[in-house]
């Protein structure tokens, strides 16, 4: 599985969050960028049974990916 979101721990990612929070909840576009922390995404993958989890942060983005062993369905 591969996930990339705006990194809330970076200045660029925080700026995206600040810009998006100005939208009223009922006026937010459905395609709005998700903002996350590296720790949040790592936790999701771990709790979903993924292993070999890799995390990369660079500027605006946090990228996380991992492998789910065959037969590990949660």
Give one DSSP letter per residue of 29-46, joined into a string: -TTPPPEE-HHHHHHHHH
Chain center to CA of 29: 18
Fill in the DSSP letter of residue 10.
S
Q: What angle do CA 13, 40, 47 make, to 5 degrees?
A: 155
The model carries a pTM of: 0.83
Asked, for residue 73, whether it belongs to a domain, the answer is no
For the chain, what is the domain count?
1
- Digit-coded pLDDT (tens) for 3-49: 999 999 999 999 999 999 999 999 999 999 999 999 999 999 999 99
Its domain, for residue 56, covers 2-67
Asked, for residue 72, whether it belongs to a domain, the answer is no
Asked, for residue 74, whether it belongs to a domain, the answer is no
């Amino acid at each position: 599985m591969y996930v990339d979101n705006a990194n809330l721990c970076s200045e660029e990612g925080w700026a995206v969050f600040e810009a998006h929070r100005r939208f009223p909840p009922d006026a937010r576009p459905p395609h709005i960028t998700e903002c996350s922390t590296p720790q949040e995404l790592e936790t999701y993958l771990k709790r979903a049974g993924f292993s070999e989890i890799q995390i990369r942060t660079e500027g605006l983005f946090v990228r996380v990916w991992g492998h789910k062993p065959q037969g590990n369905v949660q």
